[in-house]
Amino acid sequence: MAHPDDRERPLTAALPEFLKARSVALVFAASLVVCLVVYLALATPGRWFSSAPDRGLGAKALQLPRGAATLRGDELVILRAAEDGNTIVSVETDFASTAYAQVLWIVRGIPANVSAALLWRSDVEPSRLNTLPLTVESGHLAPIDLKDNAHWIGRIKGLALALHGPLSTPVAVRGVVARSADALETLGDRFREWMAFRPWSGSSINTVTGGADTQDLPLPLLLAAAVVLAAGPLFALARRRTAAPRVATAAAAMAIALVAWLVLDARWTVSLVRQVRDTAQQYAGKDWRERQLANEDGALFAFIDKARAMLPGPNARVFVVADADYLRARAVYHLYPYNAWYVPARNMLPPADRLHKGDWIVVYQRRGVEYDAATRHLRWDGGATIAAELKLLDHGGALFEVQ
């Protein structure tokens, strides 16, 4: 028969040592460390520990054999590609390939339809021009690992960045960095990816993991693996115990999962605070028109605002064309309540035989549209031609009235 004092003893007093809060926290921390060590063992491009400092070269050291650019502050801004659609940025270097396993070009603004490649020469094969494709992520370039490349040998005597494709917008190149890419540097890269700020983009909260758009090791995946790894030993130790410790073990596992969830929420909260601050700086104290101009499509709004002043009554037919689906939709939105026409999911102009005198055409950042001012004819996609008069040319857009 149980002693009366035993019935009054709190449940926590009966918990084994491995289920105490401190022990559970240590198990979770150890699981995180194990997951990170395994990842670094698989993903570190260079040596685990390296004393070689990063070798960085800025914009002033860059040359542009192909294309046109201008130096603005600490950036080389590429304005256009060469006639064949290629752009090459090069720099002279002199470092040992064995000390550096990774190269990173610091670039922003690369259009989505432009491909990129790394070029290099070495003193071992001076007549050979080596090339490897680079990954473009949201207008930036991902670092490339070269440790296992058979031609990354000797002393590297020159690096170059090749862009292939038309540059619809300027591309800014800040420089290039040769990195040892040891374990600490790799871990630092992952941490910066986790904490990277990305402004609101309209994506569903259910699809946003936080941090950089592309991550080699997403933080939710790391935490999930650590939770599973931590829960395993706890359940293994409680396997032969009574029901009460099993319940406590399940509670400990859920507590670990809750802590991991709170870590993700904390990162989200930090990002939210910054987003609120940036939004306040962008819109606070401005009237309706100023807020529209400060928006992401402010240039489009400025153009449509001028176009609206030239349009007749709302019953006039206005045809809107642009390469980007988003710009077509936003242009029509800014034109309401005018009778505006556009195709949401297709980049096309209206059939020429459906246009009538008095119709209006809004063209915004749309390639393939040509206007002959001498004959007052508008042509698009090398085919259809109509008589039209140019009424407005501003902010990357044009307004035409069909004659």
Lowest mean pLDDT among 76-80, 151-155, 182-186: 182-186
Across residues 356-368, what is the average pLDDT?
88
What interhelical angle do 21-43 and 243-283 show, nearest 10?
60
pLDDT of residue 6: 46
Pair 294, 286: CB distance under 8 Å: yes
The edge-to-edge listing of strands for the beta sheet with 317-322 is 339-341, 317-322, 360-364, 397-402, 385-394, 377-380, 369-372
Across residues 363-371, what is the average pLDDT?
86
Q: Is the pLDDT of residue 126 over 80?
A: yes
pTM here is 0.62
At 28, phi and psi to the nearest 5? Answer: -65, -45
Radius of gyration of the chain (CA): 30
Interval 162-179: pLDDT, tens:
999 888 788 899 999 888
Please report the DSSP string for 364-388 in residue order.
ES-TTEEEETTTTEEEETTS-EEEE
pLDDT of residue 17: 63
Tell whether the torsion through CA atoms of 9, 13, 14 and 15 is positive or negative: positive
Across residues 305-332, what is the average pLDDT?
87
Nearest CA to 76 out of 95, 57, 94 is that of 57
Whole-angstrom Cα distance, residue 161 to residue 173?
Answer: 10
At 191, phi and psi to the nearest 5? Answer: -65, -40
pLDDT of residue 244: 54
Please report the DSSP string for 13-81 in residue order.
GGS-GGGSHHHHHHHHHHHHHHHHHHHHHHH--S-SS--PPPEEEEGGG-EEEESEEEEETTEEEEEE-
Percent of the chain having pLDDT more than 70?
Answer: 90
pLDDT of residue 11: 47
351 vs 320: which has the higher pLDDT = 320
Q: Is the pLDDT of residue 253 over 70?
A: yes
9 confidence band (pLDDT: 50, 70, 90):
very low
15 confidence band (pLDDT: 50, 70, 90):
low
Q: Is the pLDDT of residue 199 over 80?
A: no
pLDDT of residue 14: 56
